[in-house]
């Protein structure tokens, strides 16, 4: 049962506070920053997957009228902003031209002469994993990883194993075993707003940076790290953010702009083009998964074994196997993981990082298992789902039966098992798990003398956060939502604030806002008690006033209280809260997709998507639905359309939105959302993070629906018509 709170503004479908600015085109994004005397940087990117730099000659570029500066790695011996000797991915930064005009800078780029010696490259993680793979980086530290024969694996950067129980025993106990291999390519976050950053050297030697990022403090710290400056030298101002999805957790061109601003003593702006975003962004990592699942005849899961090879791009890095499990009780588990280098850019976060890829494998295997057991896939999941008291993926015991409720309510909404499907139509279900983070956040609230309220927060809004914060403040102070104004503080104004990432923003900043508002409320009630000469506990707040519970004629307006407080010794009414962390809770998402497959062309049409989500409490159902719609749409993109394709000489073939398309309104069905509101005990009003979960299960749900429709299993996303046709034809050949 949902906990009953008497909420007025929280829980309402309030429109976004920044909506008017966005829809009128007047919101100020990163590229909209204009400073007097500003010059423009354009980056030179290496065209080879792997090469040695023999020589760079910038003479001709420097001679172009309007060019202010040309900088390469040779000019910055102590910094790693540009490649100097070796380039390890197509798109790696080699230099920058700064000019009075961005087009002049772009033209001058072509006059920089770089002589490369092309080296062998590898972009397939399974190839890179081998002992005889060409090295991705010649200058990499020697690998400590060896294969079973003791041969050094030059591109392996991490290897891990997760064992619970005895997996061999688990499979021995299984009546049915399924196994498959899955592939997920690099795929891009494709935020609408390309990265842009403007930097200015201040007269006191500090640097101000404007950028559109998911947090100002992490950008500050990353630039400080890149430029080897104390972070106090840097001030970061985050502008309106035009999409981020995890990508804008870190720096792209911020350190380059700052370096140039220091060098030139003029403001410098760098804005990336769309092709630069593909080539030199930080897309989601790809992976190859082998997964084997075993169950008893009755469907009880007994064993899970798997291996995941994470494609970590040129710098390598870790990648866990942990998320191949979760959601279900499985006594015997053995999972192995590799992080390998490839000649690709360094991948970053994309909405539910790690979970999207692993869920595709895990939930596909569950479907295979259901088929082999001849069980309903919903039933199979329900019978194995973890429940109240069971540990979630990160160890926290579940407070409520969130997963099962989400499966049940989503299946009910989708009329699972009751819908009549046409020929070549199929339905599929998949589940996802995410535990939202919680990080440092803060809120500083002031009551003004017209009864309006200001809120200063360090938490960047990428999802409607500031609207929700305004709702929370309006709720706690019983004022109209239009009375609340939210301001994003920069790194000089507020304490360290976490990134708005990991579905933590509303959870953390919402808690800070609620606590700050409650402190202001306490002060208001105290002031009103004095004003009305009654006990504070006799008073309640409502409609911009404080009213006596026993005598409604006894009341005082917030405006009047604020004015009188201003003149008191205690001063204006305010409330403030700073928090570090909070306990967190898992949340679950369940997608049920209905597709129709054209067996002649292989084309898959998504007919219907029911997206269920365990949200704790929907503080603003419209914004939560927006998150679900967006996440589900991105699932569809990964499931059917998106992904980096590599071809001749390991070059990226589709660094553009024509060949690497994202779903348009023509591709997306009406997405039906199911919000499961079973509050958790720690989020504001019981809310959980809602940003990542809707991205997780969709691709698997689509693959499962395709299987249902035409009886084939496609294990590589995106499930393009070519792949469907190929599997259909292989299946026909097998049958023949």
List residues near a second copy by CB under 8 A.
17-18, 20-21, 24, 26-27, 34, 36, 202-206, 221, 224, 230-232, 235, 440-442, 444, 446, 448-452, 454, 456, 483, 485, 487, 489-496, 562, 565-574, 576, 578-582
CA pair distance 511, 468, nearest whole angstrom: 11
> What SS3 class is residue 90?
coil
- Work out whether strand 207-211 and strand 234-238 pair parallel, antiparallel, or are unpaired: parallel
CA pair distance 434, 453, nearest whole angstrom: 34
Please, which residue, 3 or 394, has the CB nearer to a second copy?
394
Cα-Cα-Cα-Cα dihedral sign, residues 463, 469, 475, 480: negative
In the chain, % helix, strand, coil (3-state, to 5) comes to 30, 25, 45
Task: State the nearest-atom distance from the C-beta of 220 to a second copy, in Å.
Answer: 9
Write the burial class of residue 60 (CB in 10 Å: 0-12 exposed, 13-18 middle, 19+ buried): middle
- The DSSP bridge partners found for residue 146 are 152
CA pair distance 311, 319, nearest whole angstrom: 9
Task: State the nearest-atom distance from the C-beta of 35 to a second copy, in Å.
Answer: 9
Contact 626, 473 (CB under 8 A): no
Q: Give how far Cα 371 sits from Cα of 357, 364, 707, Å.
A: 22, 11, 10
CA pair distance 49, 51, nearest whole angstrom: 7
Task: State the nearest-atom distance from the C-beta of 230 to a second copy, in Å.
Answer: 4
> What SS3 class is residue 187?
strand
Task: State the nearest-atom distance from the C-beta of 240 to a second copy, in Å.
Answer: 11
Q: Give how far Cα 261 sits from Cα of 41, 248, 251, 257, 264, Å.
A: 10, 21, 16, 6, 5
Contact 197, 274 (CB under 8 A): no
Residue 692 annotated among the catalytic residues of the structure: yes
CA pair distance 735, 311, nearest whole angstrom: 35
Q: How far apart are the first and last CA of the chain?
A: 55
Please, which residue, 65 or 205, has the CB nearer to a second copy?
205
CA pair distance 643, 564, nearest whole angstrom: 61
Cα-Cα-Cα-Cα dihedral sign, residues 337, 340, 344, 346: positive
Write the burial class of residue 418 (CB in 10 Å: 0-12 exposed, 13-18 middle, 19+ buried): exposed
* Catalytic site residue from 433, 692, 722, 734: 692
CA pair distance 684, 400, nearest whole angstrom: 17
Please, which residue, 318 or 583, has the CB nearer to a second copy?
583
Closest CA to 365 of 434, 285, 304, 287: 304
Task: State the nearest-atom distance from the C-beta of 566 to a second copy, in Å.
Answer: 5
Write the burial class of residue 149 (CB in 10 Å: 0-12 exposed, 13-18 middle, 19+ buried): exposed
Query: What angle in degrees, to the nearest 10, is found between the helix axes of 465-477 and 505-532?
Result: 20
The token pair at 486 is 């939210």
Task: Please identify which residue in the block is written with the tokens 């900043």.
Answer: 509
Alpha-helical runs (H) found in 307-350: none
Residues 6+ apart with CB under 8 A from 684: 472, 506, 507, 510, 511, 513, 514, 619
Task: State the nearest-atom distance from the C-beta of 111 to a second copy, in Å.
Answer: 32
DSSP string, 521-590: HHHHHHHHHHHHTS-GGGEEEETTEEEESS-TT-EEEHHHHHHHHHTSSS-S-EEEEEE------EEEEE
Active site residues: 692
């Amino acid at each position: 049962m949902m906990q009953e709170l008497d909420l007025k503004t929280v829980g309402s479908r309030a429109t976004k506070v920044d909506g008017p600015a966005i829809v009128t085109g007047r919101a100020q994004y990163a590229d909209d920053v204009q400073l007097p005397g500003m010059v423009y940087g354009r980056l030179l990117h290496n065209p080879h997957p792997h090469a040695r730099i023999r020589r760079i000659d910038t003479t001709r570029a420097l001679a172009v009228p309007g060019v202010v500066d040309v900088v390469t790695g040779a000019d910055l011996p102590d910094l790693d902003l540009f490649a100097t000797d070796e380039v390890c991915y197509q798109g790696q930064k080699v230099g920058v031209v700064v000019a009075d005009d961005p087009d002049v800078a772009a033209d001058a780029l072509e006059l920089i002469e770089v002589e490369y010696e092309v080296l062998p490259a590898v972009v397939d993680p399974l190839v890179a994993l081998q002992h005889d793979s060409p090295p991705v980086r010649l200058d990499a530290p020697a690998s400590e990883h060896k294969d079973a024969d003791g041969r050094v694996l030059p591109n392996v950067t991490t290897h891990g194993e997760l064992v619970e129980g005895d997996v061999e025993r688990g499979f021995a106990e299984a009546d049915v075993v399924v196994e498959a291999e899955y592939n997920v390519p690099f795929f891009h976050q494709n935020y609408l707003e390309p990265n842009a950053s403007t930097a200015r050297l201040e007269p006191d030697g500090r640097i101000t940076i404007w950028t559109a990022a998911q947090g100002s403090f992490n950008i500050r710290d990353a630039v400080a790290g890149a430029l080897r400056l104390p972070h106090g030298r840097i001030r970061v101002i985050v502008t309106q953010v035009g999409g981020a999805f995890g990508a804008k957790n870190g720096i792209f061109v911020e350190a380059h702009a700052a370096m140039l601003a220091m060098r030139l003593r003029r403001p410098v702006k760098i804005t990336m083009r769309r092709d630069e975003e593909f080539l030199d962004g930080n897309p989601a990592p790809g992976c190859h998964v082998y997964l084997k699942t075993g169950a008893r005849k009755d469907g009880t899961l007994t064993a899970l074994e798997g291996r995941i090879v994470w494609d970590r791009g040129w710098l390598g890095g870790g990648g866990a196997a942990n998320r191949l499990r979760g959601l279900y009780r499985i006594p015997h588990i053995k999972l192995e993981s590799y992080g390998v280098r490839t000649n690709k850019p360094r991948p970053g976060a994309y909405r539910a990082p790690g979970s999207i890829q692993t869920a595709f494998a895990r939930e596909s295997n569950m479907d295979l298992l259901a088929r082999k057991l001849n069980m309903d896939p919903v039933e199979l999941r329900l019978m194995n789902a973890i429940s109240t008291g069971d540990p979630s993926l990160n160890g926290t015991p579940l407070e409520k039966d969130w997963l099962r409720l989400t499966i049940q309510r989503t299946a009910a909404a989708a009329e699972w098992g009751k819908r009549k499907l046409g020929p070549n139509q199929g339905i599929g279900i998949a589940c996802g798990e995410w535990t939202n983070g919680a990080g440092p956040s803060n809120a500083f609230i002031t009551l003004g003398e017209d009864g309006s309220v200001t809120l200063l927060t360090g938490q960047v809004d990428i999802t409607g956060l500031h609207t929700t914060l305004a709702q929370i403040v309006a709720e706690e102070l019983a004022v109209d939502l239009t009375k609340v104004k939210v301001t994003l503080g920069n790194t000089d104004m507020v304490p360290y604030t976490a990134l708005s990432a990991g579905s933590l923003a509303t959870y953390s900043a919402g808690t800070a806002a609620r606590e700050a508002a409650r402190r202001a409320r306490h002060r208001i009630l105290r002031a009103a008690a004095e004003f009305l000469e009654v006990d504070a506990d006799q008073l309640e707040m409502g409609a911009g006033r404080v009213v006596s519970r026993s005598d409604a004629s006894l009341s005082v307006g917030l405006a009047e209280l604020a004015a009188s407080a201003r003149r008191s010794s205690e001063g204006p009414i305010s409330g403030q809260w700073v928090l570090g962390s909070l306990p967190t809770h898992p949340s679950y998402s369940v997608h049920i997709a209905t597709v129709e497959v054209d067996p002649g062309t292989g084309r898959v049409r998504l007919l219907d998507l029911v997206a269920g989500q365990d949200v704790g409490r929907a503080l603003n159902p419209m914004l939560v639905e927006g998150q679900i719609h967006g996440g589900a749409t991105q699932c569809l993109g990964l499931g059917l359309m998106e992904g980096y394709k590599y071809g001749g000489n390991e070059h990226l073939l589709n660094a553009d939105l024509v060949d690497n398309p994202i779903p348009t309104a023509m591709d997306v069905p009406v997405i039906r959302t199911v919000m499961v509101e079973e509050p958790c005990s720690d989020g504001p009003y019981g809310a959980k993070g809602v940003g990542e979960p809707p991205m997780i299960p969709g691709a698997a749900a689509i693959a499962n629906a395709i299987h249902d429709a035409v009886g084939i299993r496609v294990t590589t996303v995106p499930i393009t018509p070519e792949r469907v046709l190929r599997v259909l034809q292989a299946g026909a050949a097998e049958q023949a």
